Structure formats: C-alpha cells, structure tokens
Amino acid sequence: MKKLSIGIIVMLLFVKSFSQGCVAIRSNGGFCTMTHTDSSKWQLSVNNRFFKSYKHFIGTEEQKQRQTLGNEVINHQFTTDITLTHKINSRWSYMINLPIASNSRSSLYEHNNVGRYLTHSFGVGDIRFAVYDWILDPAKGNKFNIQLGLGIKLPTGNYNCQDFFHVTKDSLRVGPVDQSIQLGDGGTGITFELNTFYNISRQFSLYGNFYYLSNPQDVNSTSTARGGAVSSSSIQNTSNVMSVPDQYMFRAGASFIFNAFTASIGVRDECLPVNDLIGSSHGFRRPGYIISAEPGITYQIKKLNLYAYVPVALVRNRTQSVPDQITTQLTGVYTHGDAAFADYAVNIGCSVRF
C-alpha cells in the first residue's frame, strides 16, 4: 500500500494552479502535503503553468464574432509556483508558496482602437502560508484519509502594475493594467482546504480536493480607467476600482498506478464567485467559472516526481457581476459583461523530497 499511497498524494499535490483567462484567479489551491509512508521531512515542488485566453463568453454563450472581427482580447500567462513543505510528524505539516508570474495582454479597446498593442506584468504574486492535519491517524492504515488545511494569503503581489496605453498612435499614457494580469489582488485572505483519497485496490484509487480563498476586503485602490478619466457611470456601479474577490476550486477523479507511472482523469471546477463569503462584493471583477476535464500523468524516480496535467475546458460561464447588476437596476436595461477564456491550460513540474 505504500506505493499506492504515495501515488495518491502525488495526484493531490501537483495540480494546484488556477485560472484560464480574464476570470482572474491567482492563488494556489489543491495542495496536499507529503505522505506519512515516506521518511522525508521536506519537499520542494515547482509547478509551471501556461495558457492563452482568447475566446469571449457572456454567460455560457461564446461571442464568436469577436474573433471574426479581430477585436478579441488575448492574454498569455505563465506562472511558476515554488512550494516548500515541512512535515512535522505523520499528521501535521506546513508549507509556504511563492508564485512568480509573467503576463501579457493584447487588445484594441484598451488603446482607443487605434491598433493592437501589448501590456505586461512580471513579478512575485501573493505569498501563501498553510498548516495541514490528517483527520485519521495515518499509523492505523492508508486506505482512506482526509486532510484539512488552514492558511493565510498575504498581499505581497503588486496589485497596481502599470504600463503604457495608446491614446493615439503617437501618444501614450501610463495606467494600471487589466485586473486579469495584475500580480496580486491587494487583500489579506484566509484559505481553507480539504484533500482526500480512497484506495479501492493496489492500483486504482479515487481523489478529491476543495480549496476556498476568502478575501474579506471589498475593493483595493487600483483604478480601472487605464490612466484616463474615471466615468460617472463606473463610479455609480462601483467598477471604477478593482474588487478583491473570493475564489474556490473543486477537483475529483480517479487514478491508476502502473509501476512508476500514475495516470489520472478527473473533473475540475474553478470559480470566482459573484458575491464574497465575508464582506461586500463591489468593484470591478469578472466573476465566472470553468469546468474542465483533467487528464494527467506522474512519473516517480525515487524521491523525485515529474508530472504533466492539461485541464481542458468543457463549460465556461462568465456570470453577471455586482456592477452589472447595479447598472441593470439603474438603467432598466439588462447588463452582462464578458470575459475571455482559454481552451486548456498546461501544468508541468516536479517535486523532490529530502
């Protein structure tokens, strides 16, 4: 059972990054600490995530005309997550996660439609600390267990990254980049995690993860006007500044172990909700969710694990935000903004226990 347990923990551990587009989900969830069957006290993991978002949705309806007209927004996002975990004993452990992101955004409308230009952001994101505990005593067996995690997300990432925007082809102004490529959200958050596995046989197992980030802060001070004048309508519906939103992720699936390989298939739901669990939900945000099929494979070489996971979007839904709702009430005209999503994301990385 030792090898099977290690394989399941690898499954829970490595697919932990979020977000496929303008629905700006940054922090990392789905993190499960080292198995009790290994004598190592430390684990270092490095996860690399890349995606390109360019397909626009209002609700679940794709706005295919955006690509036909050539006015779609295109985001390229690459994030490296460096995570160090320390196992205190067979039940308790803690970790620190450091994200480093490099993002670019290509658009027309942000540059007065005078041409397609790029804005960028690069740097450290919001650092997260968490403590974990296995509910059942691992010494009594490893057929089934549940792990709970509680953490804090710090506002270490720059939530007011700025770049140049074109007013005309020959004149520029400086302003904050779009929320989707900001490095942080500006809020201190509380994270809750639940990770579990159930070993059906020596080769076949089930797994599940749940992650929730609660951001009690309502808005940050970052303007959405890209260096220009703030409109009266954006002040009325509160979208003149960026929101500090909650987020959550749910994963569930099955895995199969064959020698040094662990293959899996599951479903993944990533969501930026319309309303926060604690506090108000004003300010600009693009709420929505992505439901994906998530195949993956892991290869174990002694204390080194290599992996690749590619969640492929099945359902993309940009839900109606609080500013959308306020505008609808003020004008009597139904308002529902859009968001750009990716078709898939690529997650590759490794971990080493020592």
Distances (CA, A) of 72 to 63, 65, 321: 9, 9, 20
Query: Closest Cα to residue 251, out of 297, 192, 309, 292?
Result: 292
Distance (Å, whole) CA 243 – CA 240: 10
Handedness of CA 342, 96, 176, 271 (dihedral sign): positive
Model pLDDT, residue 23: 63
Model pLDDT, residue 18: 57
Q: Are 349 and 43 in contact (CB under 8 A)?
A: no
What b/e readout covers 252-290, taking b as 16+ CB neighbours within 10 angstroms? ebebebeeeebebebebbbbbbbebeebebbbbbbbbbb
The tens place of each residue's pLDDT in the chain, 354 residues long, gives 445 454 445 445 544 555 556 665 554 444 444 454 567 899 999 999 999 999 999 999 999 999 999 999 999 999 999 999 999 998 999 999 999 999 999 999 999 999 999 999 999 999 999 999 999 988 776 789 999 999 999 999 999 999 999 999 999 999 999 999 999 999 999 999 999 999 999 899 999 999 999 999 999 999 999 999 999 999 999 999 999 999 999 999 999 999 999 999 999 999 999 999 999 999 999 999 999 999 999 999 999 999 999 999 999 999 999 999 999 999 999 999 999 999 999 999 999 999
Model pLDDT, residue 21: 64
Q: Are 24 and 286 in contact (CB under 8 A)?
A: yes
All structural domains of the chain: 2-353 (2.40.128.130)
Q: Are 254 and 294 in contact (CB under 8 A)?
A: no
Model pLDDT, residue 103: 97
Count CB atoms within 10 A of the CB of residue 169: 11
Tokens of 73: 């927004």
Model pLDDT, residue 26: 56
Residue 101 CB contacts under 8 Å (≥ 6 apart), including other chains = 26, 77, 78, 79, 80, 121, 122, 123, 125, 157, 183
Model pLDDT, residue 38: 64
Element (DSSP H or E) covering residue 67? helix 65-69
Query: Closest Cα to residue 61, out of 339, 345, 342?
Result: 339
Model pLDDT, residue 45: 95
Query: Closest Cα to residue 38, out of 305, 288, 282, 222?
Result: 305
Tokens of 189: 């958050």
Query: Closest Cα to residue 176, out of 121, 97, 124, 134?
Result: 121
Handedness of CA 110, 112, 115, 119 (dihedral sign): negative
Model pLDDT, residue 27: 46
Distance (Å, whole) CA 73 – CA 42: 42
Distance (Å, whole) CA 317 – CA 293: 15
Helices then strands (H, E): number in the chain? 4, 20
pTM of the prediction? 0.92
